[in-house]
Amino acid sequence: MARYTGGMQVAGGYYWSPGRFTLVPVAEEGAVLPGDASRRYLRVHWAVALLLAPVVGGLYVVCLPFVGLALMLQWAFARALGGARSSATDLAATVAPGWRPGEAHLTGRAGEPPKGDVAAGGAGEKALEDVAHEIARKRAQEGSRED
């Protein structure tokens, strides 16, 4: 038995695809086998094809209920586990803290900074008082110019 792949031009005859469990009849010379290069075919004699066709049909009829049962069980498990998976995702999103850039976690609580110290991200109390005094001084200068 010669081996062929999908997409090849072949002579007329019968070709068996063990991967797909199908029998493909090719009527004329130079016809192309269906499928891509990954699909394999074996050329079989017409007598073997005649015996193979009822066997394949019989296996289809016998196995069809089991295939239906397997698909139903797969659907049921996917449905049950899919609901649990989405619930777990929702719970994890609720419990997990939000990400805030620049914020440190697991470092303990920061105490009150001492008076007069400059905070890491901005001005401290002393700097704010200095700005307030500067504003008051400039307002007083502008007030004396207007007079």
Under 8 Å between Cβ of 116 and 125? yes
pLDDT per position as a tens digit, 15-68: 888 888 788 888 888 888 888 888 899 888 889 888 888 888 898 899 999 999
Domain segments of the chain: what residues? 3-62
Which pLDDT band, with edges at 50, 70 and 90, does 137 fall under? Answer: very high
Q: What is the pLDDT of residue 70?
A: 94
Q: Is the pLDDT of residue 134 over 70?
A: yes
DSSP state of 89: H
Q: What is the pLDDT of residue 107?
A: 57
Q: What is the pLDDT of residue 71?
A: 94
Q: In the predicted model, what is the mean pLDDT of residues 108-129?
A: 61
Residue 117 CA: distances (Å) to CA of 112, 122, 123, 129, 134: 11, 11, 9, 12, 19
pLDDT per position as a tens digit, 73-113: 998 988 887 767 777 777 777 776 666 666 665 655 555 55
Q: What is the pLDDT of residue 12?
A: 87
Side chain identity, residue 93:
A
